């Protein structure tokens, strides 16, 4: 696998009057990477996607697509891009074959290669047996497959997918996720989604944007590391001795939730569960619960965005 960057953003900004929707962001996506692009509403995610696809010009900065400057040579750069918007651009009155032929011609695929391109896109997206069916009569999952097929029909180096599993049932979601993961073998894929577990199951890397700035850019494994157990829920029939718990090696803090339950926070690399269990038994606290708690991806996302809000407020003082 090559490690060449197929998408590069260099200090890209987009202003609306004096308001920065995107503020000097830089990142790159390599061949074979599937990158999850996350952000709350109004964070600048949609604006960034529009700039990468050439639908919106940046106020400042450069966007390079497979070595081609998107602003200097937009037509040549866009030949390397495939895009599936949140609402797939489908024509329900056309058959799958008619629609893909139309898309192939839009992408200027030579006449002698049209049928081959359509066949390849259908095969990759599991559409071999529905070519003659009207798009409007297909299930939502198959319509999404047709949307992905139009995005890859010209074999682009970069595929950009905006919320590709919204509105699908669990089986359809699993199928589309498997397809996206397969696309990552040959393309660079940027996946915009609000579904954080989807990122964990599909992506190699995560980008989180908040208030127009990239606040997290790392491998999915780093997110998983943040999800390491960091709390223990202790349940006892009698009141526990807080001072004894605080003295246990590794314990950072405790929070008494009620007369029977206590939340114990600790360093992720030093789990005090065994020592706490021994302490509870020796002191006859009536131990009935010792349950590890981990941060969910949603909680990590909120934590990261809250940290960014605090930094922003501190700078404005």
**CB atoms closer than 10 angstroms to residue 157:** 18
Domains of the chain: 5-225 (3.40.50.300), 228-293 (3.30.70)
Confidence band, pLDDT 50/70/90 cuts, at residue 293: confident
**β-pair type (19-30, 261-266):** unpaired
* Gap between the Cα atoms of 74 and 68, Å rounded: 8
- Per residue in 98-153, pLDDT (tens digit) is 999 999 999 999 999 999 999 999 998 999 999 999 999 999 999 999 999 999 99
Q: Tell how strand 34-38 and strand 188-192 pair up.
A: parallel
The rounded mean pLDDT for the chain is: 88
Query: Which residues touch 131 (CB under 8 Å, ≥6 apart)?
Result: 95, 96, 97, 122
CB count, 10 Å around CB of 18? 5
Instruction: Determine the Cα–Cα distance for residues 218 and 206; give it in Å rounded to an integer.
Output: 6
The C-alpha angle 279, 230, 207, rounded to 5 degrees, equals: 175
Rounded to the nearest 5°, which phi and psi values hold at 48?
A: -65, -45
Q: Is the dihedral of CA 120, 126, 129, 134 positive or negative?
A: negative
Helix 170-183 and helix 140-152: axis angle, to 10°? Answer: 10
Give the 3-state secondary structure of residue 53.
coil
- Cβ–Cβ < 8 Å for 213, 269: no
Residue-wise pLDDT for 172-224, tens only, equals 888 888 889 888 888 899 998 877 778 888 999 999 998 899 998 998 877 66
Task: Read off the pTM.
Answer: 0.74
- pLDDT tens-digit profile of 33-56? 999 998 877 889 889 999 999 999
Q: Where are the beta strands (DSSP E) in the chain?
A: 5-16, 19-30, 34-38, 60-65, 68-69, 81-84, 158-162, 188-192, 205-210, 213-219, 231-236, 251-256, 261-266, 287-293
**What's the pLDDT score for residue 39?**
82
Q: How confident is the model at residue 2 (pLDDT cuts 50, 70, 90)?
A: very low
d(CA 47, CA 274): 50
Q: Which CA distances in Å does 251 have to 24, 57, 224?
A: 40, 51, 22
Residue 30 corresponds to which tokens in the numbers above?
């390599």
Q: Are 35 and 209 in contact (CB under 8 A)?
A: no
Integer-rounded Cα Rg, in Å, for the chain is 25
Q: Is the dihedral of CA 186, 163, 85, 143 positive or negative?
A: positive
Buried b (16+ CB within 10 A) or exposed e, 290-314: beeeebebeebbeebbeebeeeeee
At which residue do the structure tokens 């299930």 appear?
A: 139
Q: Please give the Cα distance from 50 to 127 (Å, whole number).
A: 28
SS3 147: helix
């Amino acid at each position: 696998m090559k490690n060449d960057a197929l998408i590069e953003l260099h200090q890209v900004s987009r202003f609306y009057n004096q308001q920065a929707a995107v503020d000097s962001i830089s990142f790159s996506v390599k061949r074979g990477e599937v990158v999850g692009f996350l952000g709350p509403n109004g964070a600048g995610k949609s604006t960034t996607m529009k700039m990468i696809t050439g639908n919106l010009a940046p106020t400042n900065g450069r966007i390079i697509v497979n070595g081609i400057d998107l602003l200097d040579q937009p037509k040549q750069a866009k030949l390397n891009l495939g895009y599936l918007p949140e609402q797939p651009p489908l024509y329900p009155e056309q058959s799958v074959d008619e629609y893909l032929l139309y898309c192939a011609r839009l992408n200027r695929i030579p006449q002698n290669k049209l049928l081959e391109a359509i066949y390849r896109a259908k095969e990759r997206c599991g559409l071999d047996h529905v070519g003659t069916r009207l798009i409007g009569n297909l299930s939502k999952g198959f319509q999404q497959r047709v949307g992905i097929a139009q995005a890859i029909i010209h074999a682009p180096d970069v595929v950009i997918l905006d919320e590709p599993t919204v509105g699908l049932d669990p089986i359809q979601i699993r199928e589309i996720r498997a397809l996206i993961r397969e696309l990552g073998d040959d393309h660079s894929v940027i996946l915009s989604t609000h579904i954080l577990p989807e990122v964990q199951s599909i992506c190699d890397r995560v980008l989180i944007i908040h208030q127009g700035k990239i606040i997290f850019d790392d491998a999915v494994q780093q997110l998983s590391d943040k999800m390491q157990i960091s709390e223990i829920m202790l349940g006892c029939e009698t009141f526990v001795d807080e001072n004894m718990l605080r003295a246990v090696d590794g314990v950072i803090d405790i929070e008494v939730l009620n007369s029977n339950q206590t939340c114990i926070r600790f360093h992720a690399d030093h789990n005090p569960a065994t020592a706490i269990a021994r302490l509870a038994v020796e002191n006859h606290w009536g131990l009935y619960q010792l349950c590890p708690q981990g941060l969910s991806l949603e909680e990590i996302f909120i934590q990261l965005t809250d940290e960014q809000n605090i930094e922003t407020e501190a700078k404005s003082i």
